[in-house]
């Protein structure tokens, strides 16, 4: 479970060395878009050395690899042998990519006697959005991640502060995530000098059903963590609902503060408490 995921370019030694001190729930070591062609090998080597030699690592580690049909993909997944990577972030996901990935990883894991690698799909093309129902059932997947900048480029549209242009894609990702028990992850807010814009964008994404959001700068993490965490008021409300429910065994419905409380509301309260425990808010 995540609230915040921080991108760190693989060729940035200072950020690599500080990866464990950032307040992100997961760190994404980026070997793809943030890295120029001339730096691909250097970035991979720096990340490998960090994973092997660091005594303290981030809570969860995600490796953003290059596309599976690129010349760098097979070298990138060699980092799985460090046994320090929790998930791969796969760019340009669609049905064909999903099928190829399953075959490639299954062969690689069998050859190297490895456990099944879990994957987050980066949905950043029109085809990837439309084919979501065809690959969201892939058993390797744990999350769907909208990549709005690449998607806007594919659609030949302008990215805006309101993000109205990605409403459809966000919604598709959220619904397919719920159906397939995946984590819907929102695209980064790219204006690092507009904290109010970040707050508004995060709150709106959360209101649609996103459960986490990526960040491109450490100064975005506190806002994202706050937005995607249960508030103190929500936690108190959930505790009261669960307490009353436990005191009324066999009662399917009861009232609290003038409102009817039934099974869906109780379930929501339980999810709030579960999140609060995971994120150490209790």
Query: Tokens 């690899």 sit at which residue?
Result: 65
Strand (E) or helix (H) holding 105: helix 95-112
* Domains recognised in the chain with CATH numbers: 4-227 (3.20.20.60), 232-278 (no CATH)
CA torsion sign for 195, 199, 202, 204 is: negative
**Residue 224 to residue 258: CA distance in whole angstroms:** 32
The whole-number pLDDT of residue 93 equals 98
**How far, in whole angstroms, is CA 48 from its chain's centroid?**
22
Backbone dihedral region of 208: left (phi > 0), alpha (psi from -120 to 50 degrees) or beta? alpha
- Would you say 3 and 38 are in contact if contact means Cβ atoms under 8 Å apart? no
The whole-number pLDDT of residue 119 equals 98
The whole-number pLDDT of residue 258 equals 86
Q: What is the pLDDT along the chain (282 residues), one digit of tens a residue?
A: 899 999 999 999 999 999 999 999 999 999 999 999 999 999 999 999 999 999 999 999 999 999 999 999 999 999 999 999 999 999 999 999 999 999 999 999 999 999 999 999 999 999 999 999 999 999 999 999 999 999 999 999 999 999 999 999 999 999 999 999 999 999 999 999 999 999 999 999 999 999 999 999 999 999 999 999 999 999 999 999 999 988 877 767 888 888 888 999 999 999 999 999 999 898
**Residue 5 to residue 23: CA distance in whole angstroms:** 9
pTM: 0.94
């Amino acid at each position: 479970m995540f609230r915040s995921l921080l991108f760190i370019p693989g060729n940035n030694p200072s950020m690599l060395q500080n990866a464990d001190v950032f307040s992100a729930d997961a760190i994404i070591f980026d070997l793809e878009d943030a890295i120029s062609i001339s730096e691909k090998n250097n970035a991979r080597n720096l990340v490998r050395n960090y994973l092997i030699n660091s005594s303290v690592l981030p809570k969860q580690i995600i490796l953003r690899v290059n596309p599976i049909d690129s010349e760098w993909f097979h070298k990138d997944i060699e980092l799985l042998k460090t046994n320090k990577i929790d998930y791969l972030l796969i760019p340009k996901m669609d049905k064909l990519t999903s099928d190829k990935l399953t075959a490639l990883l299954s062969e690689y894991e069998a050859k190297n006697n490895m456990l099944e690698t879990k994957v987050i799909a980066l949905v950043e093309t029109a085809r990837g959005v439309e084919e979501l129902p065809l690959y969201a059932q892939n058993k390797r997947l744990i999350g769907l991640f909208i990549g709005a900048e690449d998607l806007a480029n594919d659609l030949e549209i302008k990215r805006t502060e309101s993000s109205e242009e990605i409403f459809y894609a966000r919604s598709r990702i959220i619904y397919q995530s719920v159906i397939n028990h995946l984590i819907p992850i929102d695209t980064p807010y790219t204006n690092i000098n507009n904290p109010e814009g970040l707050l508004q964008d995060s709150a709106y994404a959360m209101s649609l059903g996103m459960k986490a959001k990526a960040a491109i700068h450490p100064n975005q993490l506190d806002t994202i963590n706050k937005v995607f965490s249960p508030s103190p008021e929500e936690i108190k409300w959930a505790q009261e609902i669960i307490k009353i429910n436990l005191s009324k065994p066999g009662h399917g419905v009861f009232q609290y503060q003038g409102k009817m409380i039934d099974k869906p509301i109780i379930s929501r309260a339980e999810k709030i408490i579960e999140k609060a425990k995971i994120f150490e808010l209790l």
